[in-house]
Amino acid sequence: MSSKYRVIQYGLGVMGSQMVQMMLGKRDLEVVAAISGSGRLAGSDLSRAIGLDNEIGIVISANADEVFRTVDADVVLHATTSWYEESFVQTREALRTGKNVITIAEEASHPWIEANAKTAREIDSIAKEHCVTFLGTGVNPGFMMDYLPITLTGVLKQVDRIRIRRVIDWSRYGPTLFEHICAGKSVEDFERARERGEVSFHVGLEHSLRLTAEALGWELDSYSETAEVRLTKSRRNTRYMVLEPGTVCGYNQAGHGFRQGKEVLTYEMAAIINPDLVEDGTDVGTYISIDGTPGAEITVGGEFAGQGGWGTVASAVNSIPRVIAARPGVVTVAELPPWPCLPQA
């Protein structure tokens, strides 16, 4: 390459900070500006703000639109929200100033479902007008429960059904996400919070399932989703709190896609704090089962299985060249060639 891809980082929470750390070590990427979504880091040196020792001379801004209008860049990496509408509001000016956008907002992974279709059409129109691309990606959605199984079907003669079970260790996440699932509370507290709309499950399960169906050319008759609380039988210690027996330690969530009266896609998420193989009956990992000709069983384990955060970061960063080269408009990961890990500096 004769020049580097110039990147604006939008959002400097855990994911955004890790994106910057990764990009600073990549040969073909240059971070040229950074935006604090909350504004709390505005005025700070970017390198210092993400925990590095040396300063790099990039002052964090709280004014996103000003950065988009004044900074020359190829792409914006966006990491502030799970929601499609919000991601669009925050990056609209980036598209209008000719910058590609890669967001890890889960809803952006497959935005053409009914709830987001109007916003998707608007983004698509603006992006095409300014010859740029808008992509939602991550590890899940964006890879584990959509791109990976879609790719696996490419070596099969026929696919009849796909079942995926993904088990994650929720103890890796912070106290805010513990609160979202009522960790350590009674089942009665959980149900009351759920009735008030205060319980948060995995965002993007339907998006992954529908993205897979679309790639396979399957028109689904219907989609349904269920979610149940998990209670611990033992005492579980975490860095944030202690969970007593009988209290909430996670949840099970499942999406079901039906075609011609049969369930053809079953996607399950199990979020468990300190998973125990004996008590919980499962280990951390992703388990993919494809019924077809021939059938296939794939397990994704190892360190990667427990490092979903870095998987999301790497998916967004490594996709930069593919997104810049992609057609204008809204795209999904299923439309893009696989991207390799970018070379180190």
Residue type for position 31: V
How much is the average pLDDT of 30-59? 91
- pLDDT for 1: 47
Distance CA 143, CA 148 (A): 5
pLDDT band at 2 (very low <50, low <70, confident <90, very high): low
Q: What is the pLDDT of residues 139-155, one digit of tens each?
A: 999 999 999 999 999 99
Residue 295: CA count within 13 A, CB half-sphere: 9
pLDDT band at 70 (very low <50, low <70, confident <90, very high): very high
> Is pLDDT of 246 > 80?
yes
Return mean pLDDT, the chain: 94
- pLDDT for 174: 73
Q: Hey, what are 223's tokens?
A: 């989609």
Instruction: Write the secondary structure of 277-330 as one string of H (helix), E (strand) and C (coil).
Output: HHHHCCCCEEEEEEEEECCEEEEECHHHHCCHHHHHHHHHHHCHHHHHHCCCEE
Q: Which residues of 35-45 are buried (b: 16+ CB within 10 A; e: fewer)?
A: bbbeeebeebb
pLDDT band at 24 (very low <50, low <70, confident <90, very high): very high
Contact predicate 11/78, CB 8 Å: yes
Distance CA 332, CA 123 (A): 13
Q: Mean pLDDT check: name the lowest of 112-116, 184-188, 251-255, 335-339.
A: 112-116
DSSP string, 52-112: -SS--SPBPBS-HHHHHHHS--SEEEE-S-S-HHHHHHHHHHHHHTT-EEEE--GGGGSTT
Backbone φ and ψ for 257, nearest 5 degrees, come out as -110, 130
| % of the chain with per-residue pLDDT over 70 | 99
Q: Mean pLDDT check: name the lowest of 36-45, 101-110, 318-327, 334-343.
A: 36-45
Residue type for position 262: K
Domains and CATH numbers, the chain: 5-137+319-335 (3.40.50.720), 147-306 (3.30.360)
